[in-house]
């Protein structure tokens, strides 16, 4: 297949990243995509290519795209900004900030467990009707009324959609601002980062369409015994967290105006790769939070070899089911963020990924609109780009 025309620039020494980006298109893996890398606060890679939709609209320098759960890294950062300012205590009960959350036996559940997927709240007890995911107060009230599906703190299970409401409501109760508004006013706006949670209608024309979204038929084929829609008693099924996390809060058409405008801070951030990289570069460079908060963000909250009740069901063959979580971030024990085991970030369904590597002063972001594999940075397109980044870094600096 003929390679797409790649636009943008690479700093001297980083030409291999362009070659890897071109190869992803030549191999037919991409429709439209972008990759951005910042080193010591300066851009060294800023590339984009391909089409923003199936009709052939070109992917431009400022094309926004839904990055699914890559959004969680931005949502967690809002909470950590409040921690750094002394306004949020991660070990305090959620109910200190959100009194209604104390219902259903959750009065002592700490904020920390929201950030590391240990709260036992991957979904409300009753499935939400289509479109209800866009009603912030309704979803938060449903979660406040929910008895946890497992004993909080005893297990980790990825809160695929509810993470954003849970953490976002704590941020809202403290600041009086929605998560998307706080993110824009306090982080992305001052940095000039092109990234939104709750994308204004005026920005919709530059949003790329996702092509090949989450495949319900494939889900049903892999898990034929799971009830669809979920029914009472499903909590007894060994794969219940998968269904709870992915089906109890239907988000609808991700290319719709309603979805783009809503605030779903676990999964509907719309960003450029450049915008994501700018935020992680500021984080890696110590411009957003202090050293103690930065260290806490990437401190493991998981037990050794502890399975993730949700993501474990999707673990690649031979990789096992263990995932290590920091405080809102995926840790790098699988090497998806390069050789530095202390790098951290977040991936999104379909393949998007962004991370910070503070020890190397590096930030990376990859966005795309052809739905691929994984949610943890293990999409082979991103893997190839990250490998090329660190090969270049070794050549430029003479070290890894």
Quick: pLDDT tens for 25-41: 999 999 999 999 999 99
Query: Structure tokens of 35?
Result: 């990759």
List the 7-10 sheet strands across, edge first. Answer: 7-10, 42-50, 32-39, 362-368, 353-357, 344-347, 330-331
Greater confidence, 263 or 249? 263
Query: pLDDT value at position 323?
Result: 78
**Does residue 1 surpass a pLDDT of 70?**
no
* Residues 219, 41: Cα–Cα separation, whole Å: 41
Residue-wise over 99-130: b if at least 16 C-beta within 10 A, else e?
eebbeeebeebbbbbbbbbbbbbbbbbebbee
252 pLDDT band (50/70/90 cuts)?
confident
Weakest-pLDDT range from 49-63, 175-189, 200-214, 221-235:
221-235
Handedness of CA 25, 28, 31, 33 (dihedral sign): negative
Find tokens 């009709």 and name the residue.
Answer: 55
**In DSSP terms, which residues pair with 366 in a beta bridge?**
35, 353
C-beta neighbour count of 371 within 10 angstroms: 18
CA nearest neighbour of 353 among 369, 364, 343, 342 = 364
**Does residue 68 surpass a pLDDT of 50?**
yes
**Ordered alpha helix ranges (H), the chain:** 15-26, 71-84, 94-97, 111-115, 136-144, 162-175, 179-183, 189-191, 216-222, 240-247, 257-261, 273-284, 291-297, 380-397
CA angle 221, 227, 228 (to 5 degrees): 80
Strands 42-50 and 32-39: antiparallel
| List of domains in the chain | 59-378 (3.40.710.10)
246 pLDDT band (50/70/90 cuts)?
confident
DSSP notation for 309-340? TTGGGGPPTTS-SB--B-SSSEE-TTSTT-S-
Q: Are 353 and 368 in contact (CB under 8 A)?
A: no
Weakest-pLDDT range from 64-68, 77-81, 210-214:
210-214
Q: Are 187 and 78 in contact (CB under 8 A)?
A: yes
Active-site annotation holder among 69, 302, 352, 376? 69
**Does residue 113 surpass a pLDDT of 50?**
yes
| Over residues 86-112, mean pLDDT | 98
* Residues 65, 269: Cα–Cα separation, whole Å: 8
Query: pLDDT value at position 305?
Result: 83
Strands 362-368 and 32-39: antiparallel
Query: pLDDT value at position 229?
Result: 44
CA nearest neighbour of 387 among 366, 372, 370 = 366
| pTM for this entry | 0.94
- Kindly state the DSSP code that residue 248 receives in the 8-state scheme: S
Q: What is the dihedral of CA 356, 295, 266, 32, to 10 degrees?
A: 0
Query: pLDDT value at position 374?
Result: 66
Chain mean pLDDT for the chain: 90
Query: pLDDT value at position 45?
Result: 98
Query: pLDDT value at position 232?
Result: 43
* Residues 90, 116: Cα–Cα separation, whole Å: 11
Query: pLDDT value at position 218?
Result: 46
Query: pLDDT value at position 117?
Result: 96
pLDDT tens-digit map of 295-319: 999 999 999 888 888 877 666 554 4
Q: Are 4 and 50 in contact (CB under 8 A)?
A: yes
226 pLDDT band (50/70/90 cuts)?
low
Cβ neighbors of 3 (< 8 A, separation 6 or more) are: 22, 23, 25, 26
Catalytic residue status for 69: yes
* Residues 287, 281: Cα–Cα separation, whole Å: 9
Query: Structure tokens of 159?
Result: 């809160």
Q: Which of 146-160, 164-178, 224-238 has the highest mean pLDDT?
A: 164-178
- Kindly state the DSSP code that residue 293 receives in the 8-state scheme: H
Query: pLDDT value at position 249?
Result: 87
Phi, psi torsion values for 353, nearest 5 degrees: -160, 145
Query: pLDDT value at position 237?
Result: 55
231 pLDDT band (50/70/90 cuts)?
very low
């Amino acid at each position: 297949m003929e390679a797409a025309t790649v636009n943008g620039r690479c700093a001297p020494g980083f030409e291999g990243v362009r070659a890897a980006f071109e190869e992803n298109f030549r191999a037919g893996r991409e429709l439209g995509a972008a990759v951005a890398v910042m080193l010591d606060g300066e851009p060294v890679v800023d590339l984009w290519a391909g089409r923003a939709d199936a009709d052939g609209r070109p992917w431009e320098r400022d094309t926004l795209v839904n990055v699914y759960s890559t959004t969680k890294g931005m949502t967690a950062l809002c909470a950590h900004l409040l921690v750094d300012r002394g306004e949020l205590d991660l070990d305090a009960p959620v109910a200190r900030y959100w009194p209604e959350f104390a219902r259903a036996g959750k009065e002592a559940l700490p904020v920390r467990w929201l950030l590391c997927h240990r709260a036992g709240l991957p979904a409300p007890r009753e499935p939400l009707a289509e479109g209800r995911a866009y009603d912030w107060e309704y979803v938060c009230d449903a979660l406040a009324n929910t008895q946890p599906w497992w004993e909080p703190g005893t297990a980790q299970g990825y809160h695929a959609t509810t993470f954003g409401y849970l953490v976002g409501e704590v941020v809202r109760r403290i600041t009086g601002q929605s998560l998307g508004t706080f993110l824009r006013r306090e982080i992305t706006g001052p940095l000039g980062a092109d990234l939104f949670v709750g994308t204004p209608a005026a920005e919709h024309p530059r949003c790329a369409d996702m092509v090949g979204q989450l495949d319900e038929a494939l889900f049903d084929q892999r898990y034929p015994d799971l009830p669809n829609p979920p029914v009472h008693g499903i909590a007894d099924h060994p794969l219940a967290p998968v269904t709870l996390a992915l089906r109890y809060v239907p988000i609808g058409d991700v290319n719709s105006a309603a979805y783009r405008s809503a605030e779903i801070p676990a999964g509907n951030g719309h960003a450029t790769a450049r915008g994501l990289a700018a935020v992680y570069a500021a984080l890696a460079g110590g411009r957003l939070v202090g050293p103690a908060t930065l260290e806490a963000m990437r401190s493991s909250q998981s037990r050794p070899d502890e399975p993730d009740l949700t993501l474990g069901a999707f673990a690649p063959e031979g990789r096992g089911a263990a995932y290590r979580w920091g405080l809102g971030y995926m840790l790098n024990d699988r090497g998806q963020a390069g050789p530095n085991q202390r790098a951290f970030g977040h991936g999104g369904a379909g393949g998007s990924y962004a991370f910070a590597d503070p020890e190397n002063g590096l930030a990376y972001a990859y966005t795309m609109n052809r739905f691929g594999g994984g949610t943890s940075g293990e999409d082979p397109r991103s893997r190839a780009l990250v490998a090329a980044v660190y090969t270049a870094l070794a050549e430029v600096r003479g070290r890894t």
